[in-house]
Amino acid sequence: MLRLVAYLIGIAIVATGLSWLADRPGLIVFNWEGYEGEISVFHAVVGLTFLIGLAILLWSLARAIWTSPATVGSYFYRRRQKRGLDALSSGIIAIGAGDGANAMRYAVQARKSLPNEPLTHLLRAQAAQLAGDKSTTRRIFEAMLAQPDTEQLGLRGLFLEAQREGELEAARQFAERALRLNPRLGWPAEALFDLQCKASDWDGALHTLASAKKYGHVDKTVADLRRAVLLTAQAQKAEDEDPQRGLTLALEAHTLAPALVPAAAIAGRLLASRGNTAKAAKVLQKTWLKSPHPDLAAAYAFARIGDSPMDRLDRVRQLANLQQNSIESAVAVARTAIEAKQFDLARGALEPVLGDRLTQRVATLMARIEAEEKGDAGRVREWLARAVNAQRDPAWTADGVVSEHWAPVSPVTGKLDAFQWRVPVELPESKDSGLLADKLAELAAIGAPLDAIDARLVAAGPVVQAKTSDEDTVDGSAARAAEKASGATPEANEKVSMPVSASAVVAASAEAPRPVEAPGASKPASGVPSVDPGSSRGGSAGREPDVAVAAEVPATVAAKAGVPETVTSKSPVAAATVSPAATAVAVVPPSGASKSVAAPSASGVKAGGSSEAKIFVSPRAPDDPGPEVGDVEDVAPLIPRYGTSR
């Protein structure tokens, strides 16, 4: 629109000028070398304008002829550049789509059209990566290092290639070179920091972290936390070698991150060792308010050297009052109270967490209380059984790895500050009966010998009474072998091979009498089956005999004597109650039964089967208080062998 207006204005000016000349006639007379002439002013102006236009036209034509080679070359260059840009665009799209063949084809076209373009090198390198040609990829990236404008791109590509191939040292060198070349780049700072953390290069990681914080690559809060973790790692290493340096590092880390448990624990221990109890308590209390942890409670309990167990208990109770709703407070008080022999206080501290909040650690502490206070093996066994199915306690966990101690980096990925105090993720099949053995070993550490604890657990074990069922029947061939080896009647062998149900092991009765051996009978290594003919002879008709589970006949002894092995329950509860290592079957006769039937014993069978094992048969009913005084002289109860557990 403006151009149209300017054009119209120009036409108007020219028309006005010509009209002005036409209204003022005049002549121009000239004399040149004897020639005289005259021309009107109007015609003179028009002629001069025509000559000027003609000169301009001739000059333009001459200039076009002179520059025609450059014009032709520029045309072909622009066409080639357009082809190259189209190839680059299509190649990048093919790379993004994962089309390796088209990406390589467009990379070749781009190289022909734009051989010196940085994007062409990048497209060729990415196409080679997509094709799996590592050597070509490295060669292209190395060629980029020679050009200042592509050096950073080449370092980035070489770093990624070294990282994919697991060449951590080469990757570290490329990252260091890129960071020196341009400290404002974010990726070399982060990559170099991660590699230094994996290599436990705490000093280098601190320097890299300071550079990243200076140029704004890391937020201040994140930078302070990372620095605190790195300082804690250094303090953890220097705690024993250089306590003064370790204390300085731990206190700085605690200042940067008050919720960091390892830093506070190290600082508290070192301050306590120097006799600075007040400052140690202040540091530990500050972290306890943010993150209660057993290490903090232990350091706080021993903050003053030479204190008695009661003094430590009073101090831990003060610490627990700061976090009354935390389970760590209850556990810390209970553990310290057990050490001070204040079992009622320990039991009262754990009482609020014995319901839905029961964990394995709490159940184990209750077992310790029962073992140390009263030596009640039954209660100990009960709490250990509850510990098997209780909730897991928090632990230091990182990337699925559970550790007893904190570590600055993950052992799987090498990530800094990966360990967190939380309940580990547990698979359904991860629970097994091995946990019970661990709890027994932990009980042994409180002062009671493991043999004594185990023997009491078995000796106090209830005699299981249950009706027979059609499940888990013993092999009849083994019963016939027992009949031939011992000469016993078929009725006795039938009672030996009586089926035992899985529910019989679970339904235990603590008041039921334990089977004892008859006087003069040889005592086997792990138990002898005791059998009575049952109700078919001396009892009421139709009544099946009760079964008492005590200790199992070993497989080797059963094979020699012809006695079938004991059938054990497949129930998890039964497996925790009766160990497969020691269980035997004793048939308690009904009231009125008086005949005894011999069954083979591990020590009573001689070559040829001429002697029979002597089996004790109670002359009284199962609910009778027991044999009279004098009837049990020289009679020793069955002592199960080591290994029985619940």
What is the DSSP-derived secondary structure letter of residue 308? -
Residue 449 counted as domain residue: no
Co-location of 83 and 25 in the same domain? no
Q: What is the pLDDT of residue 38?
A: 81
pLDDT score at 125: 92
Lookup: tokens for 346: 């320990």
For residue 385, the domain's CATH number is: 1.25.40
Give the Cα separation of 284 and 299 in Å (integer): 8
Least confident among 25-29, 136-140, 551-555: 551-555
Give the DSSP letter of residue 352.
G
d(CA 495, CA 327): 53
Per-residue pLDDT band for 412 (boundaries 50, 70, 90) equals very high
Whether residue 485 lies inside any domain: the answer is yes
Q: Token pair for residue 144?
A: 């980029």
Please say if the pLDDT value at position 182 is more than 70: yes
Task: Answer whether residue 438 is part of any domain.
Answer: no
Query: Which carries the bigger pLDDT value, residue 444 or residue 79?
Result: 79
pLDDT tens digits, 322-366: 999 999 999 999 999 999 999 999 999 999 999 888 999 999 999
Q: Are residues 135 and 261 in the same domain?
A: no
Tell me, yes or no, whether 271 and 306 share the same domain.
yes
- Quick one: pLDDT at residue 438? 57
The label of the residue with tokens 């078929």 reads 490
* One domain, residues 487 and 618: yes
Phi-psi region of 447 (alpha: psi -120 to 50; beta: other; left: phi over 0): left
Residue 622's pLDDT band (cuts 50, 70, 90): very low
Kindly state whether residues 269 and 382 are assigned to the same domain.
Answer: yes
Neighbours of 625 (CB within 10 A): 7
Tell me the HSE value of 392 on the side-chain side, using a 13 A CA sphere: 16
Query: Tens digit of pLDDT for each residue in 550-608?
Result: 333 333 333 333 434 433 333 333 333 333 333 333 333 433 333 333 333 333 333 34
Instruction: Please check the confidence at residue 533 and state whether its pLDDT lies above 70.
Output: no
Answer whether 385's CB lies under 8 Å from 646's CB. Answer: yes
Q: How does DSSP classify residue 570?
A: -
Q: Is residue 30 classed as helix, strand or coil in its secondary structure?
A: strand
Here the tokens at position 310 are 């009661």
Q: Are residues 637 and 506 in the same domain?
A: yes
Burial 116-135 (b: 16+ CB within 10 A, else e): ebebbbbbbbbbbbbeeeee
302 has pLDDT over 80: yes
Q: Classify residue 257 by its DSSP letter.
A: -
Is residue 484 in some structural domain? yes
For 361-394, how does the pLDDT look when each residue is reduced to its tens digit (9 = 90+)?
Answer: 999 999 999 999 989 899 999 999 999 989 999 9
381 lies in the same domain as 491 = no
Q: Residue 166 carries which side chain, given as an amino acid letter?
A: G
Instruction: Show the beta-strand stretches assigned E in 377-491.
Output: 395-398, 401-403, 420-422, 463-464
Band (pLDDT 50/70/90 cuts) for residue 440 is low
**Tell me, what's the pLDDT at 528?**
37
User: How large is the C-alpha radius of gyration of the chain?
Assistant: 48
Cα angle for residues 360, 364, 368 (degrees, 5° grid): 170
DSSP symbol at 391 = B
Q: What average pLDDT does this structure show over 237-244? A: 94
Q: Is the CB of residue 226 less than 8 Å from the CB of residue 234?
A: no
Residue 441 inside a domain? The answer is no
Q: Are 55 and 76 found together in one domain?
A: no
Mean pLDDT of 131-157: 92
What would the mean pLDDT of 30-48 be, rounded to a whole number? 81
| 611 C-beta neighbours (distance < 10 Å), count | 17
Identify the residue whose tokens are 């709890």.
Answer: 439
pLDDT at 437: 53
Q: Residue 106 is part of a domain; what is its CATH number?
A: 1.25.40.10
Counted domains in the chain: 4
Same-domain check for residues 86 and 146? yes
163 shares its domain with 235: no
Q: How confident is the model at residue 22 (pLDDT cuts 50, 70, 90)?
A: confident
Query: What is the SS3 assignment for 639?
Result: coil
- Least confident span in 258-262, 270-274, 439-443, 551-555: 551-555
Beta carbons within 10 angstroms of residue 488's beta carbon: 24
In b/e form, how buried is each residue of 456-469, taking b as 16+ CB within 10 angstroms? Answer: bbbebbbbbbbebe
* Side-chain-side CA neighbours of residue 627 (13 Å): 16
> Residues 479, 408: one domain?
no
Give the model's pLDDT for residue 200: 93
Is residue 506 packed enough to be buried (19+ CB in 10 Å), middle (13-18) or exposed (0-12)? middle
* Element at 122 (helix H, strand E): helix 118-131
Higher pLDDT, 319 or 1: 319
End-to-end CA distance of the chain: 100
CA distance 179 to 191: 10
Asked whether the beta carbons of 364 and 435 are under 8 A apart, the reply is no
**Residue 310 resides in a domain:** yes
Distance CA 347, CA 330 (A): 10
65 within domain boundaries: no
Of residues 356, 382, 360, the one with CA closest to residue 371: 382
Residue-wise pLDDT tens digits, 193-230:
999 999 999 999 999 999 999 999 999 999 999 999 99
C-beta separation of 637 from 553 below 8 A: no
Query: Model-level pTM?
Result: 0.60
Residue 12 has pLDDT above 60, yes or no: yes
**Burial classification of residue 589, based on how many CB atoms lie within 10 Å of its CB (0-12 exposed, 13-18 middle, 19 or more buried):** buried
Residue 220 CA to residue 204 CA, distance in Å, equals 19
- Residue 54 is predicted with a pLDDT of 93
pLDDT of residue 441: 57
Are 536 and 544 in contact by the 8 Å Cβ rule? The answer is no
Task: Give the pLDDT band of residue 621 (cuts 50, 70, 90).
Answer: very low
154-168, 183-197, 397-411, 482-496: segment of lowest average pLDDT:
482-496
**Which amino acid does the sequence have at 351?**
E
Is the pLDDT score of 468 beyond 50? no
Paired residues of 340 in beta bridges: none
pLDDT of residue 15: 86
Does residue 503 lie within any of the structural domains? yes
Model pLDDT for residues 54-95, shown as the tens digit of each residue = 999 999 999 989 988 888 888 898 999 999 999 999 999 999
Quick one: DSSP state of residue 321? G
In whole angstroms, give the CA distance from residue 239 to residue 250.
Answer: 9
Q: Which of 206, 240, 237, 239 is nearest to 224 (CA)?
A: 206
Same domain, 376 and 525: no
Please name the residues in contact with 560: beta carbons below 8 A apart, sequence gap of 6 or more. 602, 605
pLDDT band at 427 (very low <50, low <70, confident <90, very high): low
Which neighbouring-strand residues pair with 585? 549
Dump pLDDT digits (tens) for 88-129.
999 999 999 999 899 999 999 999 999 888 899 999 999 999
Task: Look at residue 411 and give its three-state secondary structure.
Answer: coil
Q: Of the candidates 180, 214, 248, which is a domain's last residue? A: 214
H or E element at residue 31 = strand 27-32
Q: CB of 303 within 8 A of CB of 281?
A: yes
Domain membership of residue 42 as a residue range:
2-59
Domain boundary among 181, 214, 247: 214
Backbone angles phi, psi at 610, to 5 degrees: -80, -25
Long-range contacts of 423-430, Cβ-Cβ distance < 8 Å, separation of 24 or more: 423/391, 423/392, 423/393, 423/394, 423/395, 424/392, 424/395, 424/397, 425/397, 425/400, 426/392
Domain end marker among 183, 214, 245: 214
Torsion angles phi and psi, residue 565, rounded to 5 = -70, 155
